[in-house]
Structure 1
Amino acid sequence: RRGEAVQGGGAGPACGCKGIRRCLLCQGPAPKQGNFTYCPAAGLAVGNECSEFAGWAFPFPGVFLLEEFINPDEESQMVQLMDQDDWKLSQSGRRKQDYGPKVNFKKKKLKVDGFIGLPSFSQEIVQRMKAHSALENFFPVEQCNLDYLPERGSAIDPHFDDWWLWGERLVSLNLLSKTVLSMSCDSEDSLQLFATLSQGTCENLDSWDIDHSSPPRLIPYKEVTVDILLPRRSLIVLYGDARYKWKHAIYRKHIEHRRICVTFRELSAEFTLGGKQEKLGKELLEIALTFQGKPV
């Protein structure tokens, strides 16, 4: 696997799941119900009305969400070009297309052979990203297309993406249907909640604000799950705490129609200027940005 560490185990002939990964054919445990929803305008995780945390919120940094990053015609063209290439069976009921080096994350080894760059249809998308401050100097070295379908039970359990090879910013483009990115944290530390001044809805979350005059409330991080609503054709960037402290997941209950996730990853500090493997990183980046690639 390219984006996450493989956790061992075998795979049956009917699915591509390994370790703790599960699809409908090898059903896993039911996911937690999200009890907070992320508000992009305020940068807050807001307690859901049906949860015990209604009326409470906390700052949730490390998320940049941009709606309608591409238009419907661009979306249709991208998906059409993807479907001209083969999709490989992946874990958790998904299919994938990889454009990047072959990586063994457990042994921390990679091979450049066979990698000839990112696909041509991503060149304009990558260039457009750099117009936003959250993606300044973002140079992707890997692209992974993941195909989700409800009839396959497509999903991905809570996980961290690798941070030996991949850098701080994880960038994903959400195509064909809306979904929810579910965030959770296993920390035993306490999280500080703040009372909210006003009530809102999922459709009008910008009305929320924190009431700093009320005493805060402490709860364990592990009791909190945050839903980030991803509209169709939206772009999301995870960095900082949202990248390294909070795990992310896509639960099958949030896959209502076909969904394609296009994830771009940059190199970690070890492979950039001044890093131990700067030379290898430069070679990978030069290959990636030729935009002449096919799935590997």
Structure 2
Amino acid sequence: MMILSPERKCGCKGIRSCAICDNDNIHKDEGRQLFEFTFCPLCDMAVVERSTMSKEFHVHQGGFPFLDIEVIPNFINENEEVMLVEEIDKQTWVLSQSGRRKQDYGPKVNFKRQKVHIGGFYGLPAYSRFLITRYNDLIKESTSLHPEFIPVELCNLEYKSDRGACIVPHYDDSWLWGDRLVTVNLSGATYLTFTLPTTDVVDGINQEFQRVQSYVPNVSRGSFCVRVLLDRRSLVVVSGPARYIWQHEIRRTDITTRRIAMTFRELSSTFSPASGNMTDEQRFGQKLLEIASTYAHM
């Protein structure tokens, strides 16, 4: 385990903060009350009240379709969860922003400058291989048209309440990373919260709000959120508008025990190899795929 030096107790920079560096102010931004819709994985709806009935017999009052979120409960069993946590904790944790700690397996990336290189990437960790195999088996068995999921990056993030850990509303990169964000949730349950920005920071926000308002006319922009329950041992896939138009976050108040998120990312179309003449980005993507698929990181 990583030993924190007296000089550097947390990994926060700039406007980020945690319970270590700014305990008096970390909850100020969470004071804004939003009307909460809850995601129902049985019918892919953001609803006012989630039903506990079966898929064949359940109804909701108020809500709207919230597509491109897939939650698979009990994706792994208890023994597999114990094994994964043990394997993860054998490796060094590195301080990250907002009270988190992390482990990165993937290329070295500067997203602001859009620069990427192999760095010390030797492959995804061996303990993670069965997760990808199992997820791809589910894709094959389903009626969806999703292609095989081939990740080239794994980021393990640790959240603990005593560190005020969270992740603020954000968009994941779409220059290097592809459509699907696949996360396995370990050790503790939490909520993934989705919001629409109040300004048009990306294309499609106003159109998405108008779609929501067509189902729920009394909502106003910036007044509501969608909460997705992530039980321990579950898998969640975020793609499409949920990834590119809605921002997502993990709130400090939703971390009540230690939680580890294993998030896998695939290549964007810019870096995905193609037949025939390939661009420099596609050739680099091909190299990443070759390295990642070895699962050689022990």
TM-score normalised by L of structure 2: 0.81
Three-state SS of the structure 2 residue aligned to 1:270 is coil
Please state if 1:102 is matched with 2:117: no
Q: Pairwise mapping of residues 165-184 of structure 1 onto structure 2 (< 5 A)?
A: 165-184=176-195
Please state if 1:219 is matched with 2:244: no
What amino acid is the match of 2:291? I
Aligned match of 1:93 in 93, 99, 106?
99
CA contact (8 A) 1:57 1:194 kept: no
Shift of 1:218: 5.3
What amino acid is the match of 1:288? A
CA contact (8 A) 1:157 1:251 kept: yes
Please state if 1:236 is matched with 2:236: yes
Shift of 1:22: 2.3
CA contact (8 A) 1:63 1:238 kept: yes
Inter-CA distance 168–187: structure 2 relative to 1 (3 Å threshold): farther
CA contact (8 A) 1:140 1:267 kept: yes
Q: What number of residue pairs does the alignment pair up? A: 259
Alignment partner, residue 252 of structure 1: 252
Three-state SS of the structure 1 residue aligned to 2:233 is coil
Shift of 1:137: 1.1
Q: Deviations over 1:67-91 (max 9, x none)?
A: 0000000100111011111100111
Inter-CA distance 99–108: structure 2 relative to 1 (3 Å threshold): same
Alignment partner, residue 288 of structure 1: 292
Alignment partner, residue 202 of structure 1: none
Distance 1:172 1:88 in 2: 19
Alignment partner, residue 81 of structure 1: 87
Distance 1:240 1:68 in 2: 24
Shift of 1:55: 3.9
Alignment partner, residue 69 of structure 1: 75
Please state if 1:145 is matched with 2:146: no
5+ residue gaps, structure 2: 1-6, 51-59, 200-205
Shift of 1:193: 4.4
Alignment partner, residue 42 of structure 2: 41
Distance 2:180 2:33 in 1: 26
Shift of 1:43: 0.8
What amino acid is the match of 2:241? D
Three-state SS of the structure 1 residue aligned to 2:121 is coil
TM-score normalised by L of structure 1: 0.82
Identity of paired residues, percent? 43
Distance 1:158 1:132 in 2: 30
Aligned match of 2:8 in 4, 8, 13?
13
Distance 1:289 1:166 in 2: 16
Three-state SS of the structure 2 residue aligned to 1:279 is helix
Shift of 1:56: 2.0
Alignment partner, residue 56 of structure 2: none
What amino acid is the match of 2:244? Y
Alignment partner, residue 209 of structure 1: none
Inter-CA distance 157–238: structure 2 relative to 1 (3 Å threshold): same
Shift of 1:15: 1.7
Greater mean alpha carbon deviation, residues 268-277 or residues 174-183 = 268-277
Q: Deviations over 1:236-265 (max 9, x none)?
A: 000001000111100111111110000000
Distance 1:33 1:99 in 2: 37
5+ residue gaps, structure 1: 1-11, 196-215
Distance 2:33 2:136 in 1: 35
Please state if 1:30 is matched with 2:29: yes
Shift of 1:136: 3.4
Alignment partner, residue 53 of structure 2: none
Inter-CA distance 139–33: structure 2 relative to 1 (3 Å threshold): farther
Shift of 1:223: 1.6
Distance 1:178 1:194 in 2: 32
Distance 1:113 1:230 in 2: 33
